[in-house]
Amino acid sequence: MKITRIEAIPFAIPYRKPLRFASGEVRTAEHVLVRVHTDDGVIGVAEAPPRPFTYGETQVGIVAVIGQIFAPQLVGLSLTDREVVAARLGRTVGNPAAKAALDMAVWDALGRTLDLHVTELLGGYTDRMRVSHMLGFDEPPAMVEEAERMRGEYGITTFKVKVGRHPVGLDVAVVRALREVLGAEAELYIDGNRGWTATESAVAMNQMADLDLLFAEELCPADEVLGRRRLVSRLDVPFIADESAVTPADVTREILGGSATAISIKVARTGFTGSQRIHHLAEGLGLEAVMGNQIDGQLGTLCTVTFGSSYRLTSRRAGELSNFLDMSDDLLTEPLTIQGGELAVRPGAGLGAEVDPDKLAYYRLDT
């Protein structure tokens, strides 16, 4: 069970259409495949999606920090030394996606070694989640058409709508149109990626008061400390901290400070070990939690549904598990399928994922 070698392989797969939101846009999945090898010949895999506009990590940076800083500290450890892995990675500040992918690849390798699924190692609550689809910025009719298509083709009835544009009324009109077309039974929530001020957010939330929103997420920057607390204290829907609460300590600070009342758990930035800590914190504090999407590919999405299915709290709400559908291709031998609005974990050992060697050879950038 000893880690003998770690690979960080950059690859690029174009999106069929870009995903746009208040803090950036993604046209190509420029991700890093992480492979953890052991002395038993087992290989654990995970995917790191850099989000330069949010956390400052880049594809080149992730390959470098894994190769130069993290891999030398993990080689020689046992797969069961997961807290030692976390402590060593934790010595370096930042680099969330690089650390998360290493952590998840170690869990995958452990599951493969023990012939257990990662959901069984984590919590074993269920084997599937309802899917929430994230609608990026577009003209209002195109966003409505996409939601109807997702409902028709995949049975998805929960939508996270990206907001944060100006004038505020543009996004309000989109959410209103979605509610009218999708009806009362659809679940709708919004994510501003810090695009509005606290005052603009309050105006928008007032204008959407009759639209039965489920949550509001990162409408304004957490750095606007008092404005955000004031906004959050006046809302009657939970306010989700996403990029303002990357670590368990951030979650504690934002929640206890009154700057958020719910959390987004993203395994792409906290892996399984850090996400467990955040899950337990949320459960202990009685918070709502949503499994978020860091614009993951299929392997990343499989990691999200694997973690989310493991616990009652994280599987209660629909998870953001569908944006891989916009990628022109992927690395897995068997593509993920969303049916009846649900995504199931992949049976097998570890994450149950197999990377297609031909696809990897085609999309990798380092050969």
Using the rule CB under 6 A, is 295 a contact of ligand MUC? yes
Q: Which of 47, 146, 224, 242 is close enough to bind Mg ion by CB under 5 A?
A: 242
Peptide bond into 14 cis (omega under 30): no
Structure tokens belonging to residue 179 = 């509610």
- Alpha-carbon span 114 to 347, nearest angstrom: 14
Using the rule CB under 6 A, is 159 a contact of ligand MUC? no
Using the rule CB under 6 A, is 244 a contact of ligand MUC? no
CB of 152 to ligand MUC, least distance (A): 24
Which H or E element spans position 87? helix 82-90
Q: What is the DSSP letter of 95?
A: -
CB of 291 to ligand MUC, least distance (A): 11
Per-residue buried b or exposed e for 83-92, using 16+ beta carbons within 10 Å of the residue's own CB: eebbebbeee
Residues 192-231 that bind Mg ion (CB under 5 A): 217
Name which of 19 and 33 has its Cβ closer to Mg ion.
19
Burial of 235 from C-beta contacts in 10 A (0-12 / 13-18 / 19+): middle
Q: Is the dihedral of CA 300, 314, 322, 161 positive or negative?
A: negative
Using the rule CB under 6 A, is 270 a contact of ligand MUC? no
Task: Tell me the β-bridge partners of 45.
Answer: 35
Q: Binding string to ligand MUC for residues 194 to 233, with x set by CB under 6 A, is what?
A: ----------------------------------------
Using the rule CB under 6 A, is 37 a contact of ligand MUC? no
Residue of this chain nearest to Mg ion (CB atom): 242
Catalytic residues: 162, 191, 217, 242, 266, 294
Using the rule CB under 6 A, is 137 a contact of ligand MUC? no
How many residues bind ligand MUC, per CB under 6 A?
A: 10
CB of 21 to ligand MUC, least distance (A): 5
Burial of 210 from C-beta contacts in 10 A (0-12 / 13-18 / 19+): exposed
Name which of 53 and 125 has its Cβ closer to ligand MUC.
53
In the chain, the DSSP E strands lie at 3-21, 24-38, 43-48, 128-135, 158-162, 187-191, 216-217, 239-241, 262-265, 288-291, 319-320, 342-344
Q: Which region, judged by CB under 6 A, interacts with ligand MUC, from 99-107, 171-179, 287-295, 311-319?
A: 287-295
Tell me how far CA of residue 318 lies from CA of 189, 291, 304, 308, 313, in angstroms: 11, 8, 12, 9, 11
Name which of 99 and 117 has its Cβ closer to ligand MUC.
99
Q: Which of 294, 306, 309, 310 is close enough to bind ligand MUC by CB under 6 A?
A: 294
Using the rule CB under 5 A, is 191 a contact of Mg ion? yes
Using the rule CB under 5 A, is 103 a contact of Mg ion? no
DSSP code string of 143-204: HHHHHHHHHHHH---EEEEE---SSHHHHHHHHHHHHHHH-TTSEEEEE-TT-S-HHHHHHH
Using the rule CB under 6 A, is 193 a contact of ligand MUC? yes
Name which of 208 and 241 has its Cβ closer to ligand MUC.
241
Nearest to 351 by CA among 152, 112, 79, 85: 112
Binding partner at 201 among Mg ion, ligand MUC, none, C-beta below 5 to 8 Å by kind: none
Contact residues: ligand MUC, CB under 6 A: 21, 51, 54, 191, 193, 242, 292-295
Contact residues: Mg ion, CB under 5 A: 191, 217, 242
